[in-house]
Structure 1
Amino acid sequence: MFETTAVTLGDLSFDVRSAGPDQGTPIVLLHGFPETGRSWNAVARALVDHGLRVLVPDQRGYSPGARPADVSEYTLDKLVTDVIGLLDAFGLDTAHLAGHDWGAVVAWQTAVRHPDRILSLTAVSVPHPAAFGWALRNDPDQQARSSYFALLREEGKAESVLLEDDARRLRAMYGQGVESDAVDEYVRTLSEPGALTGALNWYRAMTRDFGDIPPVRVPATYVWSTGDSAMGAAAAERCGEFVEADYEFVVVPDISHWVPEEAPGAVADAVRARVRKCR
């Protein structure tokens, strides 16, 4: 179903899966940590079945041709520039955008910085960074949920801890919500030279001004799952305060953090509803 294209942006080459009719409404799907674009497969199929055209990149650090070593190469400025470069490479003046986990962070940032290029946003799991940043500073529950950041920011130690014993701890992060063959693929990818370091550099490049961005002014949907061990209710419930456009908050009950894989139908429905409202 998917066609994979190598897209060159500067010195980097990104693997991008695409599917759907050439004239279909375009939507870019951004994955999070520690996954690849494969995490969107089921959602993407559902969107294609409804006539949308999907573009699903393996992002910076994950594509074999896009793994710079320096932490400074993983700032949000560069991650956002990658998304806009992808639109340019496919000849798209505008597109809809969806992201999960870190992909949601990049999606929020892209929508804030380039509202002329983004028609709508669907963020899954991670709310607007201002809401998340507030919770990291003020909510003890969110502080506890995000305590793993400290390990992931430790250069060398995090790689060793996650990959030792046949990547036992990395595999444990996916819980029961991700199919075993997908986990095997993610682990193979992140075991390649430079891949896990590149993926972890997203955390290492994060600064104290993470949440210091203005409200988004494009129509947005935020999808949160009540069983998400990484994202608590405090940040999720404040998300709408930082959207100055049509906004919808979709709560998926009893699903873990891996919402696109555990509840692809709910995510696809949320995306399609958002896209329909913008037509």
Structure 2
Amino acid sequence: MTSTTTFPEPTLVAVNGVELEVFEAGPRDGRAIVLCHGWPELAFSWRHQVPALAAAGYHVIVPNQRGYGNSSRPAGVTDYDLVHLAGDLVGLLDHYGHENATFAGHDWGAMIVWGLALLHPDRVDKVINLSVPYPERGEKPWVEFIEDMLGSDFYYVHFNRHPGVADALFAANTARFLGNLFRTDMPPAEMLELARIDGPGGEPLMSDSELAVFVAAFEKSGFTGGINWYRNADRNWHRLADVDPVIKKPALMIYGARDVVPRARNLTAYVPDVEVVDLDCGHWIQQEKPAETTRAILEWLDRRNAT
């Protein structure tokens, strides 16, 4: 597998008390769209969408969010809560002089975009999220809820209950872990096992040269910053207790039909102006089905911008 995709050169941007490594394309006076990666990913995860969005006239802003790449990696766990991560995105708008933007997120990036739309609705024009639907805030904090559903060994719970264990395991086996994880069908093995085994099944998601970008970045940064996003899940649950839970912005929700992340059962109750698109793929939607994802985004933006 080979790739001819090029990616913009980065700039370090000071926002919200940290520096973010930001990749930028398209005209600065165009409509802004901010693309937010998930875990364990990078801005590079959006490499297939950036050229088309820029060619369509959008000012495309793609950060390595805090904890990733060459962006700041604060030491405190609570420095990675929703308030800080959403604040970083607001800081990018301020830096580039945009009143608001369309925000697109995948995986944990989607979680942050949903939260941003709740905490800073005036800075969000539209929402585009992939894989992870709106997280309904139930009666139990999210980690406890997931533990009740999936058990204490589930990686999301393990990250919280055993700090440092997964971080060290992934760092010691970075190439194996990422090579096993980035496949067209999410491997059936437990997340931590992907750092220990070979040949988990599924086809490689990307070329060797593309995978090398992720491996080099995480060999340098480690995994703790990104895992600390998980360690703030319950803190985020408490932070949203008094926030209006309904997102009143136009939204596009893109699911992968073979994704292991479950679909929302009650999405329109919390995101009433939402359109849903299903693609025949697994979890890594914009990398596994790049052309289809880009087309869905651009067609939806064209329709919504025309109204």
TM-score of the alignment, normalized to the shorter chain, above 0.5: yes
Larger Rg: 2
How far apart, CA to CA, are the structure 2 residues paired with 1:218 and 1:133? Answer: 25
Unaligned runs of 5+ in 1: none
Instruction: Go from structure 1 to structure 2 and tell me whether the alpha carbon gap of 1:123 and 1:166 turns closer, same or farther (over 3 Å shift).
Output: closer
> What is the CA-CA distance between 1:64 and the residue it aligns to?
2.5
Give the equivalent residue in structure 2 for 1:151: 158
Give the equivalent residue in structure 2 for 1:221: 252
Q: What whole-Å deviation, never above 9, does each CA across 1:14-36 have from its counterpart, x for those lacking one?
A: 11101112222210000000011
Contact between 2:85 and 2:112, CA under 8 Å: does it hold in 1?
yes
Task: Determine helix, strand or coil for the equivalent of 2:252.
Answer: strand
Let me know the Cα RMSD of the aligned residues: 2.7
How far apart, CA to CA, are the structure 2 residues paired with 1:133 and 1:224? Answer: 26
Determine whether 1:252 maps to 2:282. no
Determine whether 1:201 maps to 2:207. no
Q: How does 1:1-279 map to 2 (within 5 A)?
A: 2-130=8-136, 143=150, 147-153=154-160, 154-175=162-183, 176-193=204-221, 195-207=222-234, 210=237, 214-229=245-260, 231-233=261-263, 235=264, 237-244=265-272, 246-253=273-280, 255-276=281-302, 277-279=304-306
Contact between 1:119 and 1:278, CA under 8 Å: does it hold in 2?
no
How far apart, CA to CA, are the structure 2 residues paired with 1:46 and 1:72? Answer: 36
How far apart, CA to CA, are the structure 1 residues paired with 2:83 and 2:44? Answer: 24
Instruction: Go from structure 1 to structure 2 and tell me whether the alpha carbon gap of 1:218 and 1:165 turns closer, same or farther (over 3 Å shift).
Output: closer
Unaligned runs of 5+ in 2: 1-6, 184-203
Instruction: Go from structure 1 to structure 2 and tell me whether the alpha carbon gap of 1:124 and 1:191 turns closer, same or farther (over 3 Å shift).
Output: same
Q: What whole-Å deviation, never above 9, does each CA across 1:170-218 have from its counterpart, x for those lacking one?
A: 431212223332222212211224x411111101121076385602110
Q: What whole-Å deviation, never above 9, does each CA across 1:94-152 have from its counterpart, x for those lacking one?
A: 111100011101111111222211110000011011179999888999747x9221233
Task: Determine helix, strand or coil for the equivalent of 1:189.
Answer: helix
Question: How many aligned residue pairs are there?
Answer: 272
Instruction: Go from structure 1 to structure 2 and tell me whether the alpha carbon gap of 1:128 and 1:137 turns closer, same or farther (over 3 Å shift).
Output: farther
TM-score by length of 1: 0.87
> What is the CA-CA distance between 1:47 and the residue it aligns to?
1.3
How far apart, CA to CA, are the structure 2 residues paired with 1:271 and 1:141? Answer: 35
